[in-house]
């Protein structure tokens, strides 16, 4: 099984719908992240969480919310999806005990908003 | 000026060629320098990272950091078709500091032709 599991892997939805992307990890890492990747724009940080009680906005948090249900689970919600949220979304984890902030990524969730 | 600049390519080389991938950066607080590889429809995976200046070698891959020039490189020797992927540079400050979050380049698409 993958260390970082994202569900769903692919989702097509309509404008205005609420969408949740889920992430779970077996790495035992304390830090979790949500990124989106767009052609020509690279990876951009949406939200990050250093532990269950610590959630922080990234560079592009507008239109998104997150929930850290447990150390191993971090979900991303789009309350009312819009077409420009069509992107590839990645969950990632890291271990704060390491000096380097090395991220382990999931396989990605491809979201299409029509 | 963006914090991290990376030529998006695409870069196409014949099998066996030496490949050089590069990034420049502007934030002098960066201390960790990483290279991720991302295959199509997959999440990025860490190739290697270095701390501060110097070289690091791992098999056919060599990472170099020149902090005086704010320039990092990844060299791939004897390139193989299986090396065809997008290569992302990423960098951060030290854990606990204000620059601990990873800043990614936009990635360079590499194709190695048989």
- In this prediction, residue B97 carries a pLDDT of 59
Kindly indicate the confidence band of residue A1, based on its pLDDT and cuts at 50, 70 and 90: low
Q: Which residue of B has its CA nearest to A91?
A: B43
**Strands (E) located in A1-113:** 4-7, 10-13, 19-25, 31-38, 42-51, 54-57, 65-70, 73-78, 87-94, 104-105, 109-113
- Residue A9 zone, left/alpha/beta (φ > 0; ψ -120 to 50; rest): alpha
Q: What is the pLDDT of residues A10-63, one digit of tens each?
A: 999 999 999 999 999 999 999 999 999 998 888 999 999 999 999 999 999 999
Question: CB contacts < 8 Å between A and B, how many?
Answer: 52
Q: Which residues of B touch A40 (CB under 8 A)?
A: 8, 106
Better-predicted residue by pLDDT, B12 or B94: B12
pLDDT computed for residue B98 by the predictor: 55
Cβ-based contacts of B85 with chain A (< 8 Å)? none
Are A4 and B43 in contact (CB < 8 Å)? Answer: yes
For the residues A64-93, what does the mean pLDDT come to? 97
Across residues B60-65, what is the average pLDDT?
97
* pLDDT reading at A85 higher than 80: yes
**Is the CB of residue A35 less than 8 Å from the CB of residue A89?**
yes
pLDDT at B94: 75
**What is the per-residue pLDDT across B78-87, written as a single tens digit (0 to 9) for each?**
999 999 999 9
Question: Predicted confidence band at B95 (pLDDT cuts at 50, 70, 90)?
Answer: low
Rounded to whole angstroms, the Cα distance separating A35 from A25 reads 16
Are B94 and B31 in contact by the 8 Å Cβ rule? The answer is yes
SS3 A81: coil
Cβ contacts (< 8 Å) between B90 and chain A: which residues? Answer: 103
Average pLDDT value for chain A:
94
Q: How far apart are CA B41 and CA B17, in angstroms?
A: 25
Chain B partners of A48 at a C-beta cutoff of 8 Å?
101
41-70 in chain B: CB under 8 A from chain A: 41-46, 49, 51
């Amino acid at each position: 099984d993958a260390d970082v599991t994202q569900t769903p892997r692919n989702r097509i939805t309509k404008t205005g719908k609420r969408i949740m992307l889920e992430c779970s990890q077996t790495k035992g890492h304390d830090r979790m992240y949500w990124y989106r990747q767009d052609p020509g724009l690279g990876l951009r940080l949406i939200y990050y969480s250093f532990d269950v009680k610590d959630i922080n906005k990234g560079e592009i948090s507008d239109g998104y919310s997150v929930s850290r249900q447990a150390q191993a689970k971090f979900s991303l919600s789009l309350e009312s999806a819009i077409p420009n949220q069509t992107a590839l979304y990645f969950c990632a984890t890291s271990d704060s005990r390491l000096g380097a902030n090395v991220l382990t990524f999931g396989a990605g969730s491809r979201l299409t908003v029509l | 000026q963006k914090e991290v600049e990376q030529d998006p390519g695409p870069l196409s080389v014949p099998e066996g060629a030496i490949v050089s991938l590069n990034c420049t950066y502007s934030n002098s607080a960066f201390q960790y320098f990483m290279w991720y590889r991302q295959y199509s429809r997959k999440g990025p995976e860490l190739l290697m990272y270095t701390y501060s200046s110097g070289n690091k070698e791992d098999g056919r891959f060599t990472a170099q950091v020149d902090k005086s020039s704010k320039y990092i490189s990844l060299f791939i020797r004897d390139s193989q078709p299986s090396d065809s992927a997008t290569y992302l540079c990423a960098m951060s400050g030290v854990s606990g500091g204000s620059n601990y979050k990873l800043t990614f380049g936009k990635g360079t698409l590499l194709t190695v032709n048989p």
